[in-house]
């Protein structure tokens, strides 16, 4: 009989990393259960390449969750999480109630285009596979007019992604020979790209956009979109578009908000080094975790952090169960930023540094581009081949 039950909610990169690391350290001594409503793990970076037309086969860039977990002896419950009780570490799904000794919440951010009136009808949600794929098809047809890339709210996951998408859109238009006939504009509530990464990274991205004639409109808070007139209404002004790529508002999923784990930020405050919530034995990782940095900004929502946080939590739970050494998450991270033309920049450093994140920028290069694509294939392939 296995002693403890460890419950992981969410089958994204953070949840899968947590569960697989637990299985590696504690083996079959304890029961590990992962719950997710989806049957497949999909790496969101491929949405970028759906926009560019380089990836169109969904099955080629996803993996079956039950197969992944079955190889590791992890129980998979495919179901919707409806209720979370952090006090008793109990959850309710559509079909059952599960009580655990340890609870790891890695449900990710929920995308809610409808928070902005008119937005669902107006644009392509490029943070979802079908939206990115449909936008990529539309991109092959447009030969004049104006394309808008709209970031509806902050925070949003993968802070580089809207800018990477914009560079890839520009490249497709240029290759098609229609770039001079199509205006390309970015609208964002931010005052510069990738705020938490610092001024050097932000300035580099603004310079690269300027080189390509991409309009960059900052501090634009969208109030509503009129899909019939192709108009975006902001607090300060308005803009027209012919085709609109959208990064929709993100919120914490309903069960997380309803159980009282979130604070005034709308996300879940955690200990920055252990990811434990105010409830002992309950952890939150990935996009849901709210970690305030020393400069007043927050740790970005990014897969690289979710993976590191997942490993940290898994090792600490295992340590409490008498297996292996504990760990601390120290705020280290990196991001490859694709710029089109087979080039990518790379930012790397410590986000917990004082008085602000200390990030080193590697300039655009083919080597960075190759490393980004290799990393993406390594993640999905490593999950597929775990045993």
3-state secondary structure of 376: helix
Q: Which of 125, 111, 110, 139 is nearest to 225 (CA)?
A: 125
Three-state SS at 227: coil
Structure tokens at 305: 């952090």
Assess contact for 9 and 103: CB atoms under 8 A: yes
153 — phi, psi (to 5°)? Answer: -150, 160
Per-residue pLDDT of the chain (387 residues; tens, 9 = 90+): 468 999 999 999 999 999 999 999 998 899 999 999 999 998 889 999 999 999 999 988 888 999 889 889 999 999 999 999 999 999 999 999 999 999 999 999 999 999 999 999 999 999 999 999 999 999 999 999 999 999 999 999 999 999 999 999 999 999 999 999 999 999 999 999 999 999 999 999 999 999 999 999 999 999 999 999 999 999 999 999 999 999 999 999 999 999 999 999 999 999 999 999 999 999 999 999 999 999 999 999 999 999 999 999 999 999 999 999 999 999 999 999 999 999 999 999 999 999 999 999 999 999 999 999 998 876 666 655 554
Q: Which two tokens stand for residue 200?
A: 């050097």
Q: Is 73 left (phi over 0), alpha (psi -120 to 50) or beta?
A: left
CB atoms within 10 A of CB 387: 4
- Residue 29 Cα distances to 25, 91, 211, angstroms: 10, 22, 57
299 contacts: CB under 8 Å, gap ≥ 6 = 196, 272, 289, 291, 293, 305, 331, 351
Domains of the chain (ranges plus CATH)? 5-109+252-332 (3.50.50.60), 112-250 (3.50.50.60)
Q: In terms of Cα–Cα distance, which of 142, 128, 200 is closest to 170? A: 142
């Amino acid at each position: 009989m296995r002693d403890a039950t460890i419950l992981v909610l969410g089958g994204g990169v953070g949840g899968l990393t947590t569960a697989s690391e637990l299985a590696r350290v504690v083996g079959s001594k304890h029961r590990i259960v992962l719950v997710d409503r989806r049957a497949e793990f999909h790496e969101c970076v491929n949405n970028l390449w759906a926009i560019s037309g380089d990836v169109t086969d969904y099955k080629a860039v996803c993996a079956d969750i039950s197969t992944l977990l079955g190889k590791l002896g992890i129980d998979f419950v495919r179901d919707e999480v409806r209720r979370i009780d952090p006090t008793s570490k109990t959850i309710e799904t559509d079909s059952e109630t599960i009580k655990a000794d340890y609870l790891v919440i890695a449900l990710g951010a929920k995308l809610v285009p409808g928070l902005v009136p008119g937005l669902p009808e107006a644009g392509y949600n490029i943070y979802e596979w079908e939206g990115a794929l449909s936008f990529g098809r539309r991109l092959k047809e447009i030969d004049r007019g104006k394309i808008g890339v709209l970031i509806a709210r902050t925070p949003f996951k993968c802070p580089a992604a809207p800018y990477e998408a914009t560079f890839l859109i520009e490249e497709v238009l240029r290759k098609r020979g229609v770039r001079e006939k199509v205006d390309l504009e970015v609208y964002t509530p931010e005052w510069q790209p990738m705020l938490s990464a610092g001024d050097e990274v932000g300035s580099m991205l603004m310079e690269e956009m300027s080189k390509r004639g991409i309009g960059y409109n900052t501090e634009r808070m969208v109030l509503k979109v009129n899909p019939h007139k192709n108009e975006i209404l902001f607090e300060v002004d308005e803009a027209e578009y012919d085709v609109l790529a959208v990064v929709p508002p993100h919120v914490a999923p309903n069960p997380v908000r309803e159980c009282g784990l979130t604070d005034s930020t709308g996300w879940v405050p955690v200990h920055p080094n252990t990811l434990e919530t105010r409830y002992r034995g309950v952890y939150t990782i990935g996009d849901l975790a709210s970690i305030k940095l020393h400069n007043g900004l927050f740790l970005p929502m990014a897969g690289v952090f979710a993976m590191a946080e997942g490993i940290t939590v898994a090792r600490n739970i295992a340590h409490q169960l008498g297996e292996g050494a504990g760990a601390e998450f120290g705020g280290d991270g990196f991001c490859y930023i694709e710029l089109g033309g087979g080039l990518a920049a790379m930012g790397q450093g410590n986000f917990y540094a004082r008085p602000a994140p200390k990030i080193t920028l590697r300039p655009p290069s083919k080597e960075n581009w190759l490393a980004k694509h290799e990393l993406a294939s390594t993640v999905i392939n490593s999950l597929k081949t775990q045993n």
